[in-house]
A and B are shown apart, each in its own frame.
Chain A
Amino acid sequence: MIQTLTPAADWVVILPVVLCLVGGALLLMLRNSGGYLASFAILVVIAVLVCDAQLFARVLAEGPVSMTMGKWLPPFGISFTADLMSAGFALAAAVVTLVVLFYVQMDPEGRDGSTGLYSLILLLLGGVSGAFLTGDLFNLYVWFEVMLIASFGLMVIAGREIQLDATIKYGFLNFLATSFFLAALGLLYGLVGTLNMADIIISAPKANPAGMASVAALFLLAFGTKAAAFPVNAWLPASYHAPPAAISALFAGLLTKVGTYALLRTMVALLPASREILDPVIAAVAILTLLIAPLGAIAETNLRRALGFIVIGGIGVVVSGIALPTLQGIAGSTVYIFHAILTMSALYLVAGLIERTTGETDTRRMGGLYAANAPLSILFLVLVFAAAGTPPFLGFWPKLLLLGAGTEQSGMTTGGQIDWWAVAILAALLLNAFLTLIAGTRIWAHVFWRQGHEGERSEEPNANLRAPGRIETWLGLVPAGLLVAAIVAMGLWPDLLVHSGTEAARGLLDPQSYIAAVGLEPTP
Chain B
Amino acid sequence: METAFAALVGVFFAASIYLLLSRSVIRMLLGLTLFGNAVNLLIFTAGRLTREVPPIVPDGLKVPTEQIANPLPQALILTAIVIGFAMFTFLLVLAYRAYQTLNADNTDTMRLTEPKGGPNPPLSY
Contacts and interface: CB of A to CB of B under 8 A. Distances in A.
A292 B122 CA distance: 12
B100 to A, nearest CB: 9
Contacts of A149: 86-87, 90
Given A166-B112, A186-B46, A189-B73, 9 more contacts: A142-B83, A164-B101, A166-B113, A168-B94, A179-B35, A179-B36, A182-B43, A238-B113, A301-B115
A168 B43 CA distance: 27
Contacts of A190: 45-47
Contacts of B83: 142, 145
Contacts of A182: 36, 39, 43, 80
Interface string B37-66: 011001101110000000000000000000
A159 B102 contact: no
A168 B114 CA distance: 13
A179 B47 contact: no
B122 A162 contact: no
A239 interface: yes
Nearest to B25: A168
Contacts of A183: 38-39, 42
A167 B101 CA distance: 13
A58 interface: no
Given A171-B90, A171-B91, A234-B121, A189 B76 contact: yes
A161 interface: yes
Contacts of A171: 87, 90-91, 94
Contacts of A305: 115
A161 B28 contact: no
Contacts of A148: 87
B110 interface: yes
A389 interface: no
A175 interface: yes
Q: Which 8 A-B pairs have the closest CB atoms?
A: A190-B46, A186-B43, A165-B112, A186-B42, A164-B98, A162-B112, A183-B39, A145-B83
Nearest to B42: A186
Which size class do A's interface residues fall under?
35 or more
Interface string A280-319: 0000000000001000100101100100000000000000
A175 B20 CA distance: 12
Contacts of A186: 39, 42-43, 46-47, 73, 76
A228 B35 CA distance: 21
Contacts of A239: 113
A156 B94 contact: yes
Contacts of A152: 90, 94
30 contacts: A138-B76, A145-B83, A145-B87, A149-B86, A152-B90, A152-B94, A161-B112, A164-B102, A165-B111, A165-B113, A168-B25, A168-B107, A169-B110, A169-B113, A171-B87, A171-B91, A176-B20, A176-B32, A185-B43, A187-B42, A189-B73, A189-B76, A190-B45, A191-B46, A234-B122, A234-B125, A237-B125, A238-B113, A239-B113, A242-B113
Interface string B1-45: 000000000000000000010000100100010011011001101
B79 interface: yes
A187 B90 contact: no
Contact of A179 (B39, B72, B101): B39
Contact of A187 (B32, B46, B72, B101): B46
Main SS of chain B's interface residues? helix
Interface in A119-159: 138, 141-142, 145, 148-149, 152, 156, 159
B110 A165 contact: yes
A257 interface: no
Interface string A48-66: 0000000000000000000
B68 interface: no
Contacts of B110: 165, 168-169
Interface in A255-292: 292
A450 interface: no
A149 B84 CA distance: 11
A316 B14 CA distance: 31
Contacts of B47: 186, 189-190
Nearest to A188: B46
Contacts of A167: 94
B84 to A, nearest CB: 8
Contacts of A292: 125
Interface string A173-201: 00110010011011101110000000000
A299 B98 CA distance: 29
Most A CB contacts (10 A, CB to CB) among B28, B45, B46, B97 go to B46
A164 B94 CA distance: 7
A190 B72 CA distance: 11
A141 B47 CA distance: 18
A190 to B, nearest CB: 3
Nearest to A180: B39
A241 interface: yes
Contacts of B69: none
Most A CB contacts (10 A, CB to CB) among B83, B98, B110 go to B83
Interface in A90-120: none
A142 B79 contact: yes
A164 B76 CA distance: 32
B70 to A, nearest CB: 9
B55 to A, nearest CB: 13
B59 to A, nearest CB: 19
A142 B43 CA distance: 15
A148 B94 CA distance: 14
A161 B102 contact: yes
B112 A159 contact: no
